[in-house]
A and B are shown apart, each in its own frame.
Chain A
């Protein structure tokens, strides 16, 4: 069966520091991968998605970047964190299936920028 891991689970970082969040998927090959952010009390915002190694689509301009160095690894990064980067970051995966891709989510990373 497929599993998705995210780490760290929680992170407290000062403004201006770098960020690296990692997501890995097991039990499937060539998945679509996604990074979402949930700000406090708000819904989900799609940040990035990837359909293959090195292929990243950005949905909104922001202070963050994403990379996919391996088939089942997705990394979210920032060179300098802002206060507004605080939130709950969720990674998700799906099996490419044309229109109906069902997304499955990881446990999330709670990021607090002080």
Chain B
């Protein structure tokens, strides 16, 4: 168990809908990262937060947004969902946010039908 908690584990929804994925980092970790992993692609970095502030942005679509709250948990919001958004979404956390050791959650499997 990495100590990173993601909910829900599975999410099935329809095209055009909006969903929210939730992540609680390891105790003491200030930084949260979101990654997308689909079958034909590796881990794609979406966005990073450190202590409530956005630190880095990767290949995140404009339809997607995220935030980190004062209690350090984070939410990833996906809207106007398309079939191609079906993927595993991982949250990871680290202590300082300087891209050192990342600890990953077990992921949320999103299926868009």
Q: Is B one of A's binding partners?
A: no
Binding site for A on B (CB under 8 A): none
Binding site for B on A (CB under 8 A): none
